A and B are shown apart, each in its own frame.
Chain A
Amino acid sequence: MLLQLCITGLVLGAFYALIAVGYTVIYGTVRLLNFAHGDMYMLGAFVGFTALMMVPGSPASILPIVAGITATVVAIAFAGFVVRVVLERIDSKNDVFSPIIAAVGISLVFQNSALHIWGTKPLAFPVQLEQDFTKPLITLAVALLMILAVDLWVSRSRFGMAMRAVGIDHNAVRLMGIRVDRVLYVTFAVFSAIAGVTGFLAGAYYGSIQFSMGFLLGLKGFTAAVLGGIGNVRGALLGGFLLGMIEAFGGGAFGTNWTDVIVFSCLIFVLLVKPTGILGETVVERM
């Protein structure tokens, strides 16, 4: 029983971590909570679903899976790019609300488009992992690989450095010759694609997908990002796993009906006690 909870918590945690990292990096570069981020996860699952169904032959073999994941990556990266393009046009109006409300609008469009394209009923995901111990193992392995790749990319690569520099000061970075707009396009595209693949993975793990799966997950992903320290990649990862465990054990203790309440109460609690999160830096400026 305890083991089961741990496994549930770890897998959930891995998913939250992958979503959280996208929130945190996007927030760190453009100071915007990308409301539509959770929907990238949802779209990834559905695009993957469609791609898998379209490839001839049994979905559960190598070729369709590769094709499915590739389609997901490409499609959701493009979606992320489009989101950035739209937000870019709004950002320049120098208004605190507009980008947030626009992102909410984008989220509505994605969710309700998915609803109309794929319907309201949950769909069985064509690729499903064996219902034994390999299931969480494979899922965790894939997730951890992605997490590792992201961490290395942000901390070691030149592009990662560019992203971090953009997060500090757009103007200074422009003067150094970095194309801020391009960095942001890539950032949005990549992290949206990651969210999309996470959705694909979740589809395989849980076996069914639904148009509303992005909303709640997005909120929890954000909670995880805040828990770990917004803007901080390792914090997002830590926050994700921590939140997964809290949810699993909270659900075990109080019943699965209450997990969301527990999670959101955590959010409010963290913001009360340490708004900068576990690994967050204390900000000197005081508003």
Chain B
Amino acid sequence: MLKVSNVGLRFGGIHAIQNISFEAQTGQVLGLIGPNGAGKTSLFNCITGFYRPTTGCVKLGDQDITGRKPYQISRRGIRRTFQNIRLFGDLSVHANIVAGGHVLTTSEVQLSERCHALCRELQIDETYLARRSGDLPYGIQRRVELARALIAQPKILLVDEPGAGLNGAERQLIVRILRNVVEGREVGVILIEHDIGMVARACDHVVVLDRGRMLAEGSPEEIRRNPAVISAYLGN
């Protein structure tokens, strides 16, 4: 569904990423892993338009979206969450989630219904809806950010380190949520995560980056046993 071909990004003389190619399929969770600085978030930024790739192309279905402005890419059905949670902290949970549907033609009433449904699905207690989102615990904020992305019924969902800062139980919850998300909808998920356990349980397919290049690609089991991957993690 989302095809990344030969994407590269250069800042001055430095290659942030080079020669990245893979496909994210609808109904699957694709994991993007690699040591710090491997270029994962840069890749996300290239896909979502916050950076323009210096080489290569990104296609959604048969539409070329390379280098388009971020808001255009969002409107075409690619939504994301951010590594450091970026909610509108002074606004309520409900307002935040509904903001995700701002550009849609869906009515306010329908958006509100979707919001309630998402809260049930992501286990956000209804009492939080009116609360100021910045006051809430991290784990809940993360799920609110996910809900904000999902309310737009995207074709591709990019999730950037949802497990960071969460405890074990919360991480399990995120994994379950992500599996439910792809199984219940027409959506492809790309997940950046450091926690290998989460990756193993959540992902159908994994791409490994190291120092800006693709190191390996395959199922979670294959990746876990791949000696190059192991040495990249240990070596760094």
Contacts and interface: CB of A to CB of B under 8 A. Distances in A.
The answer on direct contact between A and B (beta carbons under 8 Å) is yes
Interface of A: 281, 284-286
Contact of B69 (A281, A284, A285, A286): A286
B138 interface: no
Contacts of A286: 49-52, 69-70
Q: Which 5 A-B pairs have the closest CB atoms?
A: A284-B11, A284-B51, A285-B51, A286-B52, A285-B50
Interface of B: 9-12, 45, 49-52, 54, 69-70
A75 B70 CA distance: 48
Given A281-B12, A286-B50, 14 more contacts: A284-B9, A284-B10, A284-B11, A284-B51, A284-B52, A284-B54, A285-B45, A285-B50, A285-B51, A286-B49, A286-B51, A286-B52, A286-B69, A286-B70
16 contacts: A281-B12, A284-B9, A284-B10, A284-B11, A284-B51, A284-B52, A284-B54, A285-B45, A285-B50, A285-B51, A286-B49, A286-B50, A286-B51, A286-B52, A286-B69, A286-B70
A232 to B, nearest CB: 14
A167 to B, nearest CB: 14
B202 to A, nearest CB: 30
Nearest to B69: A286
Contacts of B11: 284
Contacts of B10: 284
A281 B11 CA distance: 10
Contacts of B12: 281
A285 B10 CA distance: 11
Nearest to A285: B51
B152 to A, nearest CB: 21
A286 B73 CA distance: 13
A286 B45 CA distance: 10
Nearest to B10: A284
Contacts of B51: 284-286
B67 to A, nearest CB: 9
B44 to A, nearest CB: 13
A286 B72 CA distance: 13
A235 B114 CA distance: 53
B61 to A, nearest CB: 23
B89 to A, nearest CB: 12
Contacts of B54: 284
B16 to A, nearest CB: 9
Contacts of A281: 12
A287 to B, nearest CB: 8
Contacts of A285: 45, 50-51
Nearest to A286: B52
A281 B9 CA distance: 16
Contacts of B50: 285-286
Contacts of B70: 286
A285 B9 CA distance: 11
Contacts of B9: 284
Contacts of B69: 286
A281 B10 CA distance: 13
A94 to B, nearest CB: 12
Contacts of A284: 9-11, 51-52, 54
A88 B137 CA distance: 31
A286 B46 CA distance: 10
A284 B52 CA distance: 7
A285 B46 CA distance: 10
A142 B204 CA distance: 70
B58 to A, nearest CB: 14
Which residue of A281, A284, A285, A286 has the most chain B CB atoms within 10 A of its CB atom? A284
